Structure 1
């Protein structure tokens, strides 16, 4: 039985991936900052599979280290790491940007992936097997107005994925970088500081991707034959042609 650790499992892509992996027989370590939400998810998924929940803020290395060290011995052999947790805050020019927002994005989207990966890679190398899936964004492919810092953070994810692949392939460890386009989750609600009307407008007039669509893609990559390694995967809704262009007349 394989063990998968998923960050940002309390909602969106992370939660959908945990739910799908549970049906496929993975033992799960679901991680996030909201303990009550994690407990509820754990209770639901425990009906199908063994589940452990870990509460930590992935911007804080000491919290991650303490949480991972708390795992029972038989749970420390993590076969699949899904680095899903991340965030977007604000849509401002650099001149008007919030330092707090910048720190949240760079610490969560970039340093968080490095922190979690740093602690899990040694075990994978020792066993000469494993799979790391990093959730990037199409924002890494094309910078857009008022999204400089977010786009930079996601381009960094692409670079981290490429670097990990160069470092780890010889040890039998696969690394997959996934770039989703517009996915209807709480992403925009967070970006717009809880402004639900503004967030909802991002997804109106066309059919956005759903969290389960990205979970399906992650599952395909993780369950591919041992000789197959999906390095990079870009996924758009059919109405989106590139990061900045969505044809809202294309209702599905």
Structure 2
């Protein structure tokens, strides 16, 4: 574990604490940098500890190993976090583009465990710390796949729909508590998302973004930073962010 001198969640520290999952790269890493620049002590979680340790050292945060699909790992990750002001549920991803007729059940299980149950585990574990902060914020990174269905994407779209509905349900369940909730649904963002989806096939992953200008991880992180900077009575409920070159999950300047 790598950390600065500040103790996240301690009563002695007045610095606000932000938790970011899936923080080793992409949107998670960019968000950690953004929130640190805004004065938060950021607790970074990911499976690749060498990457989050390096980032934690860079931003003066705390790196902790985290596998959101493992209950024991989640419990160890949240240990000692008594007050948390922001949690960014970013860990997730897609695998494959198979139609329902040839669906790979192992891919489906991974997507549901990571996107849905992973978000559930982290959120459930941190709700008391968010309430204790007096001004908590839950940001869940879903996708335009949480708003649309598209052919060959049912494993991912169904998982993202479920993740989003869980998040939206919390708006009712936490009403009256000092916790805001924001769902951010990005469109095409050039990260390692497609590389994971296509099992490391870089040529196929790169082809997804050829001929158009996608969002960057920093674009999304800046929006998260804006959400986190709003006063306690302002809840930005749902934000859809797409590149200019994309109109929907299946329609962009390449597909027409």
TM-score by length of 2: 0.91
Q: Number of paired residues?
A: 242
Contact map agreement 1:205 1:249 (CA 8 A) in 2: no
Identify if the C-alpha distance between structure 1 residues 205 and 249 changes in structure 2 by more than 3 Å, giving closer, same or farther: farther
Q: Distance in 1 between matches of 2:77 and 2:49?
A: 13
Q: Secondary structure at the match of 2:212?
A: coil
The aligned counterpart of 1:211 is 217
The aligned counterpart of 1:60 is 70
Per mean C-alpha deviation after superposition, the further-off stretch among 160-169 and 194-203 is: 160-169
| Residue ranges of structure 1 left out of the alignment (5+ in a row) | none
The aligned counterpart of 1:25 is 39
Q: Secondary structure at the match of 1:246?
A: coil
The aligned counterpart of 1:173 is 179
> Alpha-carbon deviations, 1:185-237, whole Å to 9, x = none?
00000000000000000011010000001001111111112221100000010
Contact map agreement 2:21 2:44 (CA 8 A) in 1: yes
Is structure 2 residue 194 aligned with structure 1 residue 188?
Answer: yes
Q: Secondary structure at the match of 1:37?
A: helix
Identify if the C-alpha distance between structure 1 residues 127 and 216 changes in structure 2 by more than 3 Å, giving closer, same or farther: closer
CA-based RMSD: 1.4
Q: Secondary structure at the match of 2:244?
A: coil
Contact map agreement 1:206 1:249 (CA 8 A) in 2: no
Contact map agreement 1:184 1:211 (CA 8 A) in 2: yes
What does residue range 88-99 of structure 1 map to in structure 2 within 5 Å? 88-99=94-105
| Residue ranges of structure 2 left out of the alignment (5+ in a row) | 1-14
Contact map agreement 2:18 2:87 (CA 8 A) in 1: yes
Q: Distance in 2 between matches of 1:127 and 1:18?
A: 19
Q: Distance in 1 between matches of 2:240 and 2:102?
A: 31
Identify if the C-alpha distance between structure 1 residues 172 and 197 changes in structure 2 by more than 3 Å, giving closer, same or farther: same
Deviation at 1:124, TM superposition (A): 2.2
